[in-house]
Amino acid sequence: MDSIAPTIDDVKQATARLEGRIVRTPLLEAEAAGALLGRRVFVKAEVLQKTGSFKFRGGLAFLDRLDPGTRARGVVAFSSGNHGQGAAAAAAAYGVPATVVMPADAPAIKAARTRGWGADIVTYDRASDDREAMAAAIAEEHGMTVLPPYDHPWVIAGQASLGLEIAEQCGRFGVENPTVLVPAGGGGLCAGTALALADAMPAARVVAVEPVGWDDHGLSLRAGERMAAPQTGSALCDSLLAPIPGEITFSLNKRLLAGALAVDDAEVRAAIRHAFEQLKLVVEPGGAVGLAAALAGRAEGDGPLVAVLSGGNVDEALFAEIIAGTTP
């Protein structure tokens, strides 16, 4: 894996190559949230992206950079669901095979949709198996290429296309200095968004948002080096359970992020209900943490907020329980 962080030129080139192949997801003003908080609030509705999350951006950008012979042999991804779907859909776009190493307890909707894109799934036990080693072994056996979920310059550059969209869309709303709240797992979306906005909207502040007990970015930013999460939180935000920030992603995030926030399960559930009731959007727990931080009043200042709704792949039963307010 290339360990060099992407540049803004890489981001612009990746964005140009993705033009017309990804959904340019809308930036929506969340007026009800704004009324509650006394400041303008927007959401970047990446739940409307192909596969239901931002991961398709990075997967397609990665495959685009492979030479045709290597690409034809296919890719292997390891994922709790969203990256797997993104990798599978990107592979399908090129007509090449994909295998996804996925935890046995991944949400059923994510597994089903990954298979729906034509990928093979190999399951693993989160507690005892090494998913990266499994993916590497499959890649070696079949001559495939491992498509990393976040810690690769091509993937980060693809995710960064979201940041360039935010900058342009904020301009249309007359917003120049937003605080952008970005869900953080491995840190690829944060890193890409921050890299893009540092160039396209320098007055913006990008803040990582994590579940309580999985706040490795907050710990790492305060320590100035990569720190592991205590892993004491629940698995509600299943897409954000990376135990430690990526090497490349943290090299960017420690320089570009304005900070990090952590939200608890009750705040996440409240954000999911708010998005459904007020915005008519379906958001998965991990995708709702930015909005959760906004609604809980965690973001400093009184300027405009942009909460990235990074994914919408949530099991129907869990979603119904959350909307009904019956989940503990």
- As annotated, the active-site residues are 55, 310
Amino acid at the residue 240: L
Q: Is 266 helix (H, G, I), strand (E, B) or coil?
A: helix
| In contact, 218 and 262? CB cutoff 8 Å | yes
Q: Which two tokens stand for residue 54?
A: 């931002």
Strand, coil or helix: what is 207? strand
Instruction: Say whether 123 sits in a helix, a strand or coil.
Output: strand
Residue 234 identity (one-letter amino acid): S
Half-sphere exposure of residue 146, counting CA atoms within 13 Å on the CB side? 21
Q: How many CB atoms lie within 10 A of CB 190?
A: 34
CA angle (233, 238, 241) in 5-degree steps: 60
**CA 151 remoteness from chain centre:** 12
Secondary structure of residue 264 in the 3-state scheme: coil
Q: Burial letters for 247-266: b for 16+ Cβ neighbours within 10 Å, e otherwise? A: ebbbbbbbebbebbbbbbbe
